[in-house]
Structures are given as structure tokens and as C-alpha cells.
Structure 1
């Protein structure tokens, strides 16, 4: 009876998934074991195996959790929908996205590990493809609905450019200084969106 209650405890499940994110970021996909997750979460050995059917199940849930934790704040969404319809506002929004992801460094590093693992695991690839596509669609739809300058291709190009900047910032932080990163974000918006404010 107690096993079933533990298994359905949503807070415990979330804590285990968050611990798995940390393990992935620190040890890579090969280091992601139920024992490592239990240790990172500070729970008794065997706990994670009560919550996840297998390692693939855990990997899949980590992929979803990353996006849950990176949801934009209400203030950011208000800036998108109610803020000025200018290139400068887009630049500020892009800076906020990069900062938000950099603040969750382990989450993004875990996502990179998941993407590599997805090349070998079709089910994980399917889940990540659906989740990333949904995130891209969400960003395109919100941008277009907000009336900000730029079109769907603009959003996609910013997504591609800023993702690689984020990879460099989180994996090789000495490649670009913070100042250079800010300048590159502004230049990307200026060149991709074009036109004046």
C-alpha cells in the first residue's frame, strides 16, 4: 500500500526528475542511473525505480520537465503581448530568453545530452521532436499574434542563431564575453528583423 502512495506522489516524482536533470548535466547520459538519481535527490536507494518504468521513461520525462521549468514569466508574456511593437522590444525579449536559459544551465546541458541520446533512441527522439516543435510553434504563434515586426522565418532564424549562442555560453563561456553576447543578440535581431523601429 505504501509503495503505491509513494509512486503517485507528484512532488516526489518532480524532485526525482529534477535530480535526473542534474545528473545528466554533471555525468552525461551514461551516468544517468536510478541509483545516481536517488543519490542526487537525497532519497532512499530504489525510490526512482518505483516512479519510472525504466531508464527510457525517465529520459522522456526529463525532456518534458526542462520545458516546464523554462516557461516565460507573466511579465515576459505581457512585454510580448502588450509591449511596444518595436525591434528594440524584440531585442529585450531575446535577451530575456537567453538569460532565462543561462540561469538554468544544468537544464540546458541535460537537454543537449538528451538530444544526443535521442539519436540512438527512437522513442525519445519522437518525444523530443514533438516537444521542440510545440515550443517553436508556440513562439511563432505568440510572435505573430503580438504584432511585433518580423514573420515566421524571422522567429525561426532567431531560434537557430540564439540557440547556438546559448550552447557556446554554457559549454565554452570564454568564447564570447557577456558584452559580446549582448551585442550579438542585438545584431541578430537587427539583421533578421530588419528595418527601423
Structure 2
């Protein structure tokens, strides 16, 4: 297996683009090589099989979706409140919308995980760690609500973004920020 970490990262980013554009069925070594602009056969030098690509794509997506160091600490400086939760959820949605390809790739991985137990195990591990970190941050910062509040916000944002990316006209003229505000105001208790 080749050991160039920059090339491996470029191949994983290309795989994310293939997933987002063509779905999991379109994810082949040849498609990744073409998207990355490298010679045919390059991906097979970095990954033993398609399952390994899928597994490593999950990790790469979360690296790309993780905010820069200090962003979360700065966002949590104001006093904990429902309006702050609204603002944080809007910022999160903006960050995820800016990485549309990653988020669509993640949806494709979720669907593929329904058919592949090994991928399901890996994806569950990555998603659980992310959700646990969100619960920890919420509770440690003193935001209103409990762990179930965070889970409900997670469910709602996942669904809202799925709609936003796949059927954006579903909610008529209501934009994403307005929908997020409605969700937070209904889910997060007042202090």
C-alpha cells in the first residue's frame, strides 16, 4: 500500500465527491481515480478494496465537517440560552451547507451502511462519537435542556438538511434558518 498521506486524502476527497454525485453504486476505484485526476489504478495502491474506501470516507467526512480549533469555544462565550442555541444551530447548518458534498456523501454512506454490517459498525462509531461530543458540550456549557434535547435537535437538523439538500422546495417559502428557529423554540426549554 502506498504511503503518501496527501495523495490518500485527495483520493478520499474524490471518493466523497463520487458518493455525492453518483451514489454508493458509482463508487469504484476507476471513478475515484478519474475524479482525483490520477492515473487509473492509483486508488487500488492506497486501499485494499471498496469497503476500506467506504470506511475511511466516513472518517474523512467528519474531519472536513469539524470546525477549526477555537470556533466552538468562541461560539459558547455568550451566556447559555435558547436564543444562543438557535444561533449555534444556524451556524452548524451553514457550515454543513458549505460542505454540501460531504453531507450528501454522508447520506449515501448511511444508505450503504444499511446493506453493509461492517460499514454500519464503523459509521455508528463515528456518528456516536460526534453525538456524544455534542451532548457533552451542551451539558457542560449549561445550555437549557438535557441529553434528549440534544438528540431531538440532532434528529431535526438531520431531517431538515436532508430536505434542504434533496427537496429544497418541500417547505414552501420557509427558509432553513426559519425552520431551525421553529425547531429550537419547540424543543429547547426556556430557562
- Fold conserved between structures, TM > 0.5: yes
Partners of 1:63 and 1:129 in 2: CA distance: 10
Q: Which residue in 1 is equivalent to 2:7?
A: 12
Give 1:54's aligned residue. Answer: 49
Residue 80 of structure 1, CA deviation = 4.1
1:153-175 deviations in whole A, cap 9, x for unaligned? Answer: 11000000111000000111122
- Secondary structure of the 1:82 match is coil
Q: What does residue 61 of structure 2 align with? A: 66
Q: Tell me which residue corresponds to 2:90.
A: 95
- Using the size of structure 2 for normalisation, the TM-score is 0.95
Q: Aligned with 1:195: secondary structure?
A: coil
CA-CA distance at 1:11 after TM superposition: 0.5
Rounded to whole Å, the distance in 1 between the matches of 2:173 and 2:121 is: 35
Q: Please say if 1:160 is aligned against 2:128.
A: no
SS in 1 for 2:178: helix
Post-superposition offset of 1:72: 2.1
Contact 2:29 2:41 (8 Å CA) reproduced: yes
Distance 1:128 1:170, change over 3 A: same
Q: 159, 168, 171: which is aligned to 2:166? A: 171
Distance in 2, matches of 1:86 and 1:183, equals 18
Q: Distance in 2 between matches of 1:20 and 1:87?
A: 38
Secondary structure at the aligned position of 1:189 is classed as helix
Query: Structure 1 length as normaliser, TM-score?
Result: 0.92
1:24 to 19, 25, 40: 19
Q: Which residue matches 2:144?
A: 149
Aligned to 1:62, the other structure's residue is in SS state helix
Contact 2:81 2:190 in 1 (8 A): no
Whose helix proportion is higher, 1 or 2? 1
CA–CA distance in structure 2, aligned partners of residues 178 and 9 of structure 1: 47
Instruction: Give ranges in structure 2 of 5+ residues lacking alignment.
Output: none
1:80–1:143 contact (8 Å) kept in structure 2 = no
CA distance in 2, matches of 1:106, 1:14: 15
For residues 170 and 45 of structure 2, what CA distance do their matches in structure 1 show?
43
Give the match for residue 36 of structure 1: 31
Root-mean-square deviation (CA, aligned residues, Å) is 1.5
